[in-house]
Amino acid sequence: MAESAKTVAERAEERLEQMAEDVRERFDRITQGRFTDKIKEGRFADQVDHGVDRARDDERRKKQGGSTG
């Protein structure tokens, strides 16, 4: 009842292909709605980065000789 090497290799290849498909599906489910996806979709595009604005203001004040707060 020994199977030929070709048949064993074909079955192993089919199992590996199915496993790869399962992994892809799980990965897609896990990464769905991730933070990076939200950024790519432009969810935060309308928000201003106040930290950058504050740093620019601080640099201006330093150059003008004012206090930094």
Q: In terms of DSSP H, where are the helices of the chain?
A: 5-31, 35-40, 50-64
Q: Cα(33)–Cα(22) distance, rounded to whole angstroms? A: 19
Query: What integer pLDDT is reported at residue 23 of this predicted model?
Result: 95
Closest CA to 55 of 44, 63, 43: 63
Query: What integer pLDDT is reported at residue 44 of this predicted model?
Result: 65
Q: The pTM is what?
A: 0.44
Query: What integer pLDDT is reported at residue 42 of this predicted model?
Result: 73
Domain residue extents for the chain = 1-44
Q: Cα(43)–Cα(41) distance, rounded to whole angstroms? A: 6
Q: Cα(24)–Cα(66) distance, rounded to whole angstroms? A: 57
pLDDT tens sequence for the chain (69 residues): 577 999 999 999 999 999 999 999 998 888 776 777 777 777 666 656 666 677 788 888 888 885 555
Q: Give, rounded to a whole angstrom, the gap between the first and last alpha carbons of the chain.
A: 85
